[in-house]
Amino acid sequence: MSHAELLDIATEAARTAGALLLERFGTELVLATKSTPTDVVSEADLAAERAIREVLARRAPDDAVMGEEGPDVGGTSGRRWIVDPLDGTVNFLYGLPMWAVSVACEGLAGVVYDPLRDELFAAVADGPATLNGRELRVEGPSELSQALVATGFGYDPARRILQAEVVSRVLPRARDIRRGGSAALDLAWVAAGRLDAYYERGINPWDVAAGELICARAGLVVERLDPVGELPWGVLAAPPAVAGELRALVT
């Protein structure tokens, strides 16, 4: 399948899930908790992932699928879809307008869809990043002190103590910090220039698979952060001029 076809599939899946979520936004309740009492899942998460998986089964039946809320499905094509049906679940449940659907065909195509603003961030491996079809290309600031840096925190209190130590190093060196609650949207907004950089450890592949590709195709440095001490792997996306300084602070 061409990259354009993969992007079309990702777009159909994300928009289908997004429409379903939009109907539920503001009325959804917590269905269960996962890793900790604050790591919640709702029926909206589950219904959105079912909708995405139905599109993928119909249009890419030979492809593997990894999703936040369902079982891994093997494939024979060599392609793998990595999906987060609702990134920013806590925001969604509180009625905070900061959540998105993330659908990626690993390394080849990806979309982050924000149904509230009807904004589709997209990219393919051999094309530009776009927002609703308009090309995104980011220069970004030349110094970290001028950079608006987004990050996030895990659900585990012990991990948050370590993450607080890291952000205490970044805060005095950056323009400011933003914590939006959705890695996918954070990365999409970095690609759109609404944020200058993002880093986070303890995220999952489905949180970042599409956003990493979108940021890379928008001209940002995108890299995985190796585990350090008790902190797990993470992601960093930043303009070339500040990536090294930010990496040194969060490593």
Using CB under 6 A, list all residues that contact ligand LIP: 68, 84, 87-89, 152-154, 181-183, 200, 203, 207
Q: Closest distance between ligand LIP and the C-beta of residue 41, in Å?
A: 8
Residue placing its CB nearer to ligand LIP in the complex, 114 or 207: 207
User: Which class for 191: exposed (0-12), middle (13-18), buried (19 or more C-beta within 10 A)?
Assistant: buried
Q: Closest distance between ligand LIP and the C-beta of residue 88, in Å?
A: 5
Residue placing its CB nearer to ligand LIP in the complex, 10 or 187: 187
Residue placing its CB nearer to ligand LIP in the complex, 86 or 122: 86
Inter-residue contact 127 to 28 (CB < 8 Å) = no
The DSSP code for 144 is G
Inter-residue contact 128 to 154 (CB < 8 Å) = no
Q: Closest distance between ligand LIP and the C-beta of residue 89, in Å?
A: 4
Q: How far is CA 160 from CA 49, 156, 176, 192, 205, in A?
A: 28, 6, 19, 28, 19
Q: Closest distance between ligand LIP and the C-beta of residue 68, in Å?
A: 6
Q: Closest distance between ligand LIP and the C-beta of residue 46, in Å?
A: 13
Q: Closest distance between ligand LIP and the C-beta of residue 147, in Å?
A: 18
Residue placing its CB nearer to ligand LIP in the complex, 110 or 181: 181
Find the residue with minimal CB distance to ligand LIP: 152
Residue placing its CB nearer to ligand LIP in the complex, 100 or 129: 100
Residue placing its CB nearer to ligand LIP in the complex, 69 or 106: 69
